[in-house]
A = this chain, B = another copy of it.
């Protein structure tokens, strides 16, 4: 149990930082920071818990609310020290995505869900908070940015959970693998431009 709870705390914290940074770009007040931090930090886990008929994490354990509030206050008073807030959002989001994918797929795995559901739960937990943040703040959703890997990273990380668990890896190793695969792919996309072929109106071989 322990590792999954730690993953939920960590992804909540890091996603909350990205929400607060988006709030700083929209020049909100500190309560607005906390609102976007909470939406981003808790959105994915809450969706997962509603879908799996569990009590949402922050209702079962209000410590999560202290985490997002702390993250919001921290960013409100220190964001001006960050050189590029946009860059910070991208990289923190990558980190949070990996942790959340591990948490989401891990919980579904532990509940004995079939592999397909584990994959989707990893993707949904990883992507929902950031998607809500971007839709509410009217930014282009990261999940839909053309020519970048995003959902693909979440899918690969969830797949790592399924494979590692099938091979009998202990939960902590499984979670670490899922996070590393997700973050590694996303980092490769951000830093090195890794991508999959995108749809083009005419297929490559037709002239």
Identify the A interface with B (CB < 8 A).
Answer: 23-24, 26-36, 38, 46, 50-53, 55-56, 58-59, 62, 65-66, 76-77, 79-80, 113-114, 116-117, 119-120, 123, 127, 131, 135-138, 140-141, 143-144, 146, 149, 151-152, 155, 195-203, 206
Contacts and interface: CB of A to CB of B under 8 A. Distances in A.
B59 A199 contact: no
Nearest to A76: B199
B146 A28 contact: yes
B155 A195 contact: no
- Tally of this chain's copies: 3
A198 B27 CA distance: 6
Contact of A120 (B29, B58, B144): B58
A15 to B, nearest CB: 16
Nearest to A138: B140
Nearest to A137: B144
A136 B146 contact: no
A200 B80 CA distance: 8
A30 B196 contact: yes
Contacts of A140: 138
Contacts of A198: 27-29, 32
Given A35-B151, A144-B136, A155-B31, A116 B199 contact: no
14 contacts: A26-B144, A26-B146, A27-B200, A31-B151, A31-B155, A31-B196, A35-B151, A36-B144, A50-B51, A59-B113, A77-B203, A135-B135, A135-B136, A136-B144
